[in-house]
Amino acid sequence: AQSVTQLGSHVSVSEGALVLLRCNYSSSVPPYLFWYVQYPNQGLQLLLKYTTGATLVKGINGFEAEFKKSETSFHLTKPSAHMSDAAEYFCAVSDQGTYKYIFGTGTRLKVLA
C-alpha cells in the first residue's frame, strides 16, 4: 500500500529565507507525486507534480521539488519565502491503479516578517 509522510506539521521561516517542506513516500511501484497548497477555507491548488522524466520539477510561485528515488523523498523548496506563502501544504502520492490520491497529513507554513 502507498503512503505519504510529511515531517513537521508546522514550519516557520522568516520572510526571504529558504522554505523546505519534507515529504517521504512509500510505494511498491513508480509513484506519481504531487504538492498542493491550501489557503484557509479554500480548496487545493496544484503546485507541481512528478510523473516521469526530469526528477527536478518546477512549479508555480517559485516552488520546486526533487524526486529522489533512493531516499523515497519529494521535498518541496522555495529559495526565498514570501508572506503570501503562508498556507497549508499537502504532499500526495497517486494510486496508479485507481487514480486516487493519498494525502499526507499536511504542513502549515508560517512566514515571519
Q: Which residues of this protein are in contact with another protein, per CB under 8 A?
A: 32, 34, 36, 41-46, 49, 51, 90, 94, 98-101, 103-106, 108
Q: For residues 34 and 67, which CB has a smaller minimum distance to another protein in the complex?
A: 34
Q: Which of 41, 35, 42 is nearest to 60 (CA)?
A: 35
Smallest distance, another protein to C-beta of residue 32, A: 6
Smallest distance, another protein to C-beta of residue 79, A: 26
Cell of 35: 504538492
Query: Is-contact 103 89, C-beta < 8 A?
Result: no
CA dihedral sign, ordered 55, 59, 62, 65: negative
Smallest distance, another protein to C-beta of residue 80, A: 26
